[in-house]
Amino acid sequence: MNLHLTQTKIFLFIGIFLVMFIFNVISAEAANWYVRPSGGSGSGTNWTTAWNGLNGINWSSVSCGDTVWVAGGAYTQGFNPAKNCTSGNKLFIRRARSDASACTSAAGWSSGYDSLISQTSAIDFVSGQTANYITISGRTTAEGGDYGWKIYRSGTAPGYGIRMWGSSSTNNLTFEYMEVMGDGTSSSMQWTGDAKGIYDAPVSGTSGYHTLSHMKIHGWGTGIFLNYKSDHIIEYIDMYDISGNATEHSNLMYIHASNRGTVRYSKFYNSSVSGTGIAFSDGGPFNDWKIYGNIFYDMSTSTATAISVQQATITGLKMFNNTFSNNVFNFRLSSASCGTGTESKNNIVYGSGGSVSCGSTSNNLTTSDSSIFINAASKDFHIVSTIGSGYPRNAGTNLSGTFIFDMDGVVFGGDDSLWDVGSYEYTIGVDTSPPYRSNGSSTGTLPPGTTSTTLSLITNEAATCKYNTSSGVAYASMAGTFDTTGGTSHSEPLSGLSDGNTYTYYVRCQDSIPNVNTDDYTISFSVASPFSTGAWVEAENCAITSPMATNTESGTTYVYTPTANSGSLTCYFTIGTAGLYKINSNVKAVSGGNDSFFVLTSGVSTVTADVWDVLNSATYTNDYVNRRGAGSPGSPEFDPLELNLLTGTTAITFTGRETDTRLDSLYLARVIDTTPPNAPTGLSIN
């Protein structure tokens, strides 16, 4: 029976993907693999038998959870590590280091392997590939160090440094401590065509939750190109010498149809021609971006702009504690406007470029007085100690709900509890603050069958961190010290996890002064238990990722998103019999204009053919998932949608799109089960 003559009021993306958990793979100990430019015998199990060249890596031997160590030297090859990993079982590709025992204890180790990786071809995630939860790291020390991995694309032919494109599906990729270099200068671009340092544009695939951290990007037509992205973190970037040609309109960072990103603690400068530091361009949506703690300077050619918005209304933009110095334009709207939730606070505008005003504006300082900085001529934009009219110290408003420290790791308000204006907080010189802890992981709910993960966090300064499974324990008495600690990144491998359990750890850290945390930083996560098919599952019992949340009305607990296009809900099922399955759900539409889902059997889709047109009802209503395909609203091609599932564990993920759409429960059953299931209490079957 076709239940879709009318439509409900919800949009959620639903990604449905099959996850097979094989015990001997999950429980196997993570392996280390080794790569050299040349000279290895080819099995990759140690330095003597290392794989030769990046294109010599045997990816079929590498499993999620493993680490591939790359020796320093010259590599003419690129590579594409297409591995579909998970948050609890990531793949790491790291530069060889003398402080890593996995490197130095492997047969054939040489201290010369701890040197710069110089690569002249791209890292390329090609069309049709899926790659998730992979970290590629050029760290020179466990704490971070310098840019230890360099990609240099010389010549004039079009090219890229790192590319995710076409129909590739890439999520939760991390690139860190790398230099990505093209052949251009601040005023001249050698490329005759398209030239992008980071090209993240899988037009028909998906891409989200990437992290670009501690990277130097220069010599390109565009430094970072984002197209149809979500939830990226871009931090500690040094980007300069971006210039255009007849083909390439130069932007340090181009953003199109991408939401909920963060750009922080970065420097953007020396962009020429008509370039923009951060360009929200060619129409939206681009909503809920946070831009804080950055420096934009010397964008002084033609119409160069630090931040621009074109051809759309931007909403939720936060521009906090940035420093702008001598740009043609600091902020510009072109056939665009600032919508709801936009804010501009605690920014310094020095010299030319005009105001930085978008939405709610306060505590910004506009000045031509260089004496507010330590040395503006040398581009040292740390502020001086003077307090008073026209000076940035103590002139800010508290924004700790968004962030807490500057790019040096100094806590805002740490000297006297009052926030400063600009990219840097003033420091008196004596550190009396304990380490600030953030980015704790793992969090949320891990997939069933997960037996190991990594406990991790970062601090704003070098510190030694400990953990305990009981709260309120003093630092000195804590039971465990992180396996990797002493810098700003801290990690501890965890094993022995099992389905249906919640694990909570309490973390305290100490710096070198020593200043010690006297409160707990809590990191908590669960391992899911799969549900059985042929039974109703309450949505609130599945894995919920913020901002998706629960609420209750008239005794019914439902899951919803308060923020458009964000948050997710994942339910895991045990498939005992392979075959065709269909999904039933109980949903409620609370307002007009929201009347469909997207559905795909692998990942997340926004393709029209993958629309699920839902039965229209103002009450909780039982409805089968369909797929529009070549059909139309109210007349889908596939009704119900039939999923061919294998035995094992299947994850059904709902991703929120429209706010306050209410999902109460769902039901996965074989197609041959023709008798309608009993609805949850208070609901009826249509």
Q: Write out pLDDT tens, residues 593-647.
A: 777 777 665 555 556 667 777 778 888 888 888 888 888 888 889 988 888 889 9
In the chain, the percentage of residues whose pLDDT exceeds 90 is 55
* Averaged pLDDT for residues 14-40: 61
Buried b (16+ CB within 10 A) or exposed e, 214-249: bbbbbbbbbbbbbbbbbbbbbbbbebbbbbbbeebb
Tell me which H or E stretch contains 104. helix 101-104
Other beta carbons within 10 Å of 333: 17
pLDDT for 8: 35
pLDDT greater than 60 at residue 499: yes
> Which among 271-285, 439-453, 561-575 has the top mean pLDDT?
439-453
Classify burial at 581, counting beta carbons within 10 Å of its beta carbon; exposed 0-12, middle 13-18, buried 19 or more: buried
pLDDT classification of 284: cutoffs 50, 70, 90: confident
20 pLDDT higher than 90: no
Residue 70 and residue 57 in contact, taking contact as beta carbons nearer than 8 Å: no
Is residue 266 over pLDDT 80?
yes
Average pLDDT over residues 376-390: 94
Helix count and strand count (H, E) for the chain: 2, 56
CA 482, 173, 213: angle at the middle one, nearest 5? 70
Complete DSSP assignment for 17-85: EEE---HHHHTSPP-EEEEESS---SS-SSSTT-EESGGG--TTT--TT-EEEE-SEEE---B----B-
Spatial contact of 330 and 300, defined as CB atoms under 8 Å apart: no
Residue 553, pLDDT above cutoff 60: yes
How far is it, in rounded angstroms, from Cα 647 to Cα 22?
A: 11
Distance CA 296, CA 542 (A): 43
Tens of pLDDT, residues 448-474: 999 999 999 999 889 999 999 999 999
- Contact 364/421 with Cβ under 8 angstroms? yes
Tokens of 33: 């693999």
Helix (H) or strand (E) holding 102: helix 101-104
How confident is the model at residue 165, as a pLDDT?
A: 80
Phi, psi of 25 (to 5 degrees): -80, -45
Task: Give per-residue pLDDT as tens, 77-121.
Answer: 988 888 989 888 899 999 999 999 999 999 999 999 999 999 999
**Do residues 502 and 526 lie in contact, with contact meaning Cβ atoms separated by under 8 Å?**
yes
- The structural domains of the chain, with segments of one domain joined by +, span 11-17+529-670, 30-248, 437-527
547 prior amide bond cis, ω within 30: yes
For residue 351, pLDDT beyond 50 = yes
Rounded CA separation 631/641 (Å): 13
- Is the pLDDT at 25 greater than 60? The verdict is no
Residue 529: pLDDT band (50, 70, 90) is very high
Q: What is the CATH number of domain 437-527?
A: 2.60.40
- pLDDT at position 47 is 97
pLDDT at 248 over 60: no
pLDDT at 17 > cutoff 60: no
The residue-averaged pLDDT of 374-387 equals 93
Find the mean pLDDT for residues 55-73: 95
Tell me, what's the pLDDT at 52?
Answer: 94
Q: What is the overall mean pLDDT for the chain? A: 86
User: How far is residue 17's CA from residue 79's CA, in Å, rounded to a whole number?
Assistant: 26
Confidence at residue 595, expressed as pLDDT on a 0 to 100 scale? 73
Amino acid at 96: A
DSSP class of residue 266 equals -
Tell me the chain's radius of gyration from C-alpha atoms. 26
| pLDDT higher than 80, residue 676 | no
What predicted TM-score, i.e. pTM, was given to this entire model?
0.76
Supply 246's token pair. Answer: 């007849």
What is the spatial distance between Cα 151 and Cα 29, in angstroms, rounded to a whole number?
A: 32
Residues 123-181: tens digit of each pLDDT: 998 777 888 999 999 999 988 889 999 999 876 556 889 998 866 688 899 999 999 99
Amino acid at 647: T
- Same topology, domains 11-17+529-670 and 437-527? Answer is no
- Give the per-residue pLDDT at 7: 36
pLDDT, one tens digit per residue, over 399-451 is 998 999 999 999 998 778 899 999 999 987 667 789 999 999 998 889 899 99
pLDDT tops 60 at residue 495: yes
Average pLDDT over residues 475-484: 94
Which residues lie across from 271 on neighbouring strands? 242
Instruction: Find the mean pLDDT for residues 332-342.
Output: 94
Q: Which of 14, 17, 6, 18 is nearest to 585 (CA)?
A: 14
242 vs 275, higher pLDDT: 242
Q: How far apart are the C-alpha atoms of 613 and 663, rounded to whole Å? A: 15
Asked if pLDDT for residue 1 goes beyond 70, the answer is no
CATH code for the structural domain at 11-17+529-670? 2.60.120.260
Q: Give CA–CA dist 91/565, Å, rounded.
A: 28
Cβ atoms of 332 and 305 within 8 Å: the answer is: yes
